[in-house]
Structures are given as structure tokens and as C-alpha cells.
Structure 1
Amino acid sequence: MTKRHNHIAFPWLLLPADIRLLILDEISGQKHRSWAQCAAVCKEWQAILEPKNFSQLALQPSCLDELETLVIRQRPLVQHICLNIDLPRYACRTCKRNDAMSRRRPTIFRRAILRLFSILSTWQPTGRLTLELSASSPSDSQHWFKNYCFGPGHEDTRDWTQQEKAIRWHDPKHGWVDGQQAETPDPPAILRLFSPLCLNVPQTLPVVHAVTSFCIRRQLRHELFPEVLEALWEKLPRLESIVYELWRARRRYYQLACAYGTFNPISYFVIRFCVYTSRGDLPVLLTLFCIGSLV
């Protein structure tokens, strides 16, 4: 005979309030794909889950239409917006394919920035809001730079075994043999990864009053010239803090930081320089310039 188990449902409202809160915290912490829908169950769940659901938004350009139409009542809940701009796939000299798609990068970046700023220009200042920018192509980790991390929130700190690396990273024509980098990337590949992303911003870029912090992390390998950064910051008049983690220690960035920090009410401004250690894929951040401290 098959043994049957009778499951008795315990009424949710009979649970103590602190127990219900612990359960909802656990649900929100698991970050399952559909966990955000739980906020629609009832007002109690909405009050707890919705602030966590909207506090940090990781967006791509394809998500911006939804940001404009869906996030209206929840705008005061948003504390951090990270826009990761999808750059087109590209080829390399080793692959011997047409690389015309990479020349679209500046246009794609400018269009995404203009769209985001146009949306945020309609937001009223309600508190602190951080704007983080990043950009990456699927090809970045498919050619020479297989051990690099691209895009926000994708730093891989796991210690892979040599056998796992040999399976994941075996591509002799791009310098990888059985998980080991046996050949240094050629200069064109390095230039492509760290080349300037954009030379200027759209002249029609609107002013955004809602943003109070600006951030570019080391996952963005492409360079943004000081003139581009300054043009972006001029459209963010309520900036209180700026963090920029760059890969080239140029004097022009130090001069920009000094000038901008002197003539604008910035309480925190830090520029960090990424330096690789013997570990290889996790750089050390050296502070080149700093004003104030985050509370």
C-alpha cells in the first residue's frame, strides 16, 4: 500500500508578526526569478517586499521602457540604478571576421545615456539615488580575456580547480591551453577592450535632479575621457558623491577631480586605480584622489 501524507496548512495570520517578518525576509533574500511577485499577495507582503524589490535596479537598455512606464509609484523606493549597456559582439584578427559592429559602440552608448537621462529627468528628488554606469559585450570574455569579469555584480571569487579551468578555458587560438593563459593578448585585443567608449555626450542631454551619487566600477574596462565625465556630471546638479575606478592613471583625471571637487558641493569624491596582483583576476584598488568619506 502507498502511504499517504496529509499536509495541513497553517493559517498565515495566526503566525506571530515577528515570525511572518522572518519568513518574508528569507523569501526576499533567496532572489528567485519570480520572488518579486510575492509583493502582490497582500498589503502586508507589499510593505515588506516592495522596498527590497525596488531599492536596487540592474537595467539594460531594453529595460528602459519598463522603467518609464512601470516604476512610478515606486520611484521613492529606488536607491540605486545600474545601467549595463549592451555593446555589440565583435571579432578579432585571430577569428578573421568583419569587425564593423564594434564601431557602433559610441552610438549605442550615447543613445542609452540619452534615454536614461530623459527618463530620470522626470523624477522628483526624494532622497539619495546612485547612478552606476557600465558597458560590456558578450565577446569580451569569449576571446582573449576569459578570466575577466564584466558587468555589474559578476565578480567571480570562486577558486576553480585546474580541471575545471581546463574545461572552461581551452582556446589555443586565443592563448588559452588547458585553463592556463599561455600567450599574451595581442595589442589590438587590448586596445579594443580598454579603448575609449565615447568621445562626447548628446547636446540634448537633459538635467537630472534626482541623482545624488555617480559610480563607475572597475568592471567597465573602456575609458571615459574627462570631458565626457564632466559633461555627464554637469547634468547632475545634486551630486554629493562620485566614485570612479579606472584602469589608467592619467593626470587629466586628477586635474578634473581637483577642479570639480573645488567648485562643486561634493562631499565625497574618490578616484581609484586598478592594479593587478599575482592572483591575476582580482585587482587591487589604489586611491589616487579622495575628498571626504562616506557615512
Structure 2
Amino acid sequence: MPDRDVRAFPDAGGEPGRPPAVAADLLGRHLRRLREEAGLRQTDVVAAKVIGSASMLSKYEGAKVPVHEEQVRALVEFYTDGDPGNLQACLDMAKEASVKEWWAEYRDVVPGHSDRLFSQERAAREIRTFETHHVPGLLQTPDYALAIMTEAAADSEGTLHEPDIARVRRRMAVRLQRQMFLFLPGAPDFYAVLDENVLRRTKGSTTVMRGQLRQLYSLAENNRRIHIRVLPFDAPAALAPAHNSVTLLTMEPGQGSDVVYIESSNVGGSYLSDQDSIDQHRQRLTTLFMGAAGKDATLEIIQSHIDRLVGQR
């Protein structure tokens, strides 16, 4: 079997601080590449008894299951006749993928559909997002976030129930830790477009909402990495994406593949990572940012909503 070029597997020796989800994504894509280079189908690997099923192999290649080093070793040895360079690179990446995420102690309050987003956003070069209902989580004040988290919720039968305060506190801790990385050296550029309805819709109280709007104004005016734009009420309908909440993570080289995260209130979140979808959403979000109100106009819109709430309680 021909020699493999492990340089196609970025930073094969490992990179300190790389998020586990990023390592798992890189490993999965490399395992697939090795299999395809060897001229093997997933069913061929199963037939050789290297792994239990094609569905499990698909999950390994898609970074959708916990990584086990012995399984990685078996796959790489089968694909490469035990090529030591590829084997060591994959085992190193498997170790990175097995490290606990920064939010592991809060697993009970982190929805399964959010874990990849929480992991990869810290290694992103650029984040673009669009929201129609709430201020993006990374830009929320503690009071605004608390107001959303403590809203009365309904169970499957439509019965309202009060939130679990202990869980809310743990969710708040995760939210605040997520926000911290945006203000650290080397933070990604963050581009957010907010439908003007987000500014109009009061959460908690007018005091809470004023505080949130003032923070948005300050960030939009002063932070060189955080770029906030408002999509005004009178903007062309065709500008807005089809989804209410869309986020695109553009990763640094060697830090995993770009990904689109789409969140829906009734089905949770889903991810798109094929290149066509990435390119389409990047173009759509970039066009949306350019078509929304400019920086000065955005500041005027935010200020108008602050003024609207002055004197209200």
C-alpha cells in the first residue's frame, strides 16, 4: 500500500488547547480519507470485522460518538497496513478528542444539540449570526439571559410550570463562561444581525431591556471585534434567512471544518457541514450584514428603542 501523506491531517502532532469536538471532527474526516484512499467502502470494513456496523463507522467519521483509541488503532492499521505516521497522528488526535469539554461539569444543563457549537466557537476565526427572537446568547446581559431562562414554560400537555432555579443558575454559569472568550486576546470576529423585533420585544422588564439595549449600543460603538447590525422593520423581506436563528462558524486552519448551526424553538438545533451549504449560508449572511442598517444607522435604531423605554417601568 502506498505511503500516506500525514500533512493532509493538520497539526497531526496535536495542538494544545484545541477543543475536543474540533479534534473529533478532524479525526473523523481523516479516517474517512484513509478509507477512501484505500479503496474501501464502509461495508468492506464491516465485512473484515474491523468495526461492528456501517452505521457505527459512519458515526466515527462524522464525529458523532465518543472516540475509543483501540477502535481508532484498528481502523488505521487496516487502512494503512500499520503506517506508523498515520497511526500516531490519529492516536494523538483521539486523545485530544477524549479530553473533557470546558462545560463538562454542566452537562446536565447543556442540551445535546448545543455541545458542538459550544466547543467549536472558541476555536473559530469568525462567527456570523442572525437572530429574530432574542439577542444572541454571547451578547446577552445577565439580567436579560435570566429573564429568558425563567420564563414560564409549558410541558408536552400544555401545562405551565415554574423553572427549576438551581438549573437556571447552572445555565447562567455556562452562559457567562461562553461570553468570556469574546473578550480575550485572539477572540474571533463576531458579526451579528438582529431583526429589529429583537429590540422591540421586552424581556423581563423595561429596566432589564434598557440595560440590554445599552450594552448592545456600547458593544456596537466601541468593540473592534464585535460588529452589530440591525435589520430594520422596513428592510426587504428577501434579505432575511429562512431560519429564525442561524450561526456560521469559520474555523482557523487546522481547527476543524466550518459549520452552520440552525436553531429552532420546537426541534432544537441542527448542523450543516457540507461545502455547498456552508458556501450558501456564508453568502447569505454576508449579504444580510451588508444589506442591514450600517453602523451609524444601527446605533440610531438602538438609541431610539432605548429612548422609547425611558420613563417606563
Q: TM-score, normalised by structure 1?
A: 0.29
> Given the two structures, how large is their TM-score scaled by the length of structure 2?
0.28
Q: Which has the higher contact order (CA 8 A, sep 6+)?
A: 2
Determine which structure has the larger helix proportion and give its number: 2
More strand by share: 1
